[in-house]
Amino acid sequence: MRYFTALAFLSVLALASCRKNNASKIPHISTLSIAPDSIIGGSSGDTVYLSFHFTDGDADLGNNQNTTNYDIYIKDLRTNTVTGYFFPSIPSQIEDPNVGLEGDCRIKLLAAFIIPRPDHLLLDTVRYEVYIKDKAQNESNHLTTPNIIILP
């Protein structure tokens, strides 16, 4: 069962260059942010947006959605539960290993699925560890969000 509902909004920018692509074939993420930093746990009206920037030197992001090889992995550091998501389809004409791929991703996490722990009903916090994998299953660096305060 999914613990989150995610919509990934992906803006993909091809790196324009006449020189040889020297970027790493291992994907990289940066500038991880969340907003807002507090929610009402279990609320159907609250949403957390998780955003990050990514680069991949050989432009092989976007796994087949008929597999369990996800693109984006989000780990709840309270429970160590990992949930996987897919990037939206990336047009094949911009998948150029000579140029690479760069863009921004924004994921919507519904507060209805972010529940306080039973022993922290008055106030809880959660942090997420985020990373991505490409088609070759190369794993990016891992980044951790700041605390998200879960209010009753």
3-state SS of 56-117? ECCCCCCCCCCCCCCCEEEEECCCCEEEEECCCCCCHHHCCCCCCEEEEEEEEEEHHHCCCC
- Cα 59 to its chain centre, rounded Å, is 17
For the cut 50, the answer to whether the pLDDT of residue 4 exceeds it is: no
- Residue 63 pLDDT: 85
Mean pLDDT over 25-46 rounds to: 93
Cα–chain center distance at 40: 22
- C-alpha dist (Å) from residue 51 to 20, 23, 80, 118: 29, 22, 20, 28
**Entry pTM:** 0.83
Mean pLDDT, residues 133-150? 96
Would you state the pLDDT for residue 20?
A: 57
Mean pLDDT score of the chain, rounded to an integer?
Answer: 85
For the chain, give every domain's residue range.
8-151
What CATH number belongs to 8-151?
Answer: 2.60.40.2550
Say if residue 132's pLDDT is above 70. yes
- The model's pLDDT over 68-82, given as tens digits with 9 standing for 90+, comes to 899 999 999 999 999
Q: In this structure, which amino acid lies at residue 94?
A: I
pLDDT in tens, 86-116: 998 888 888 888 889 999 999 999 998 888 8
pLDDT in tens, 48-70: 999 999 999 999 998 888 888 99
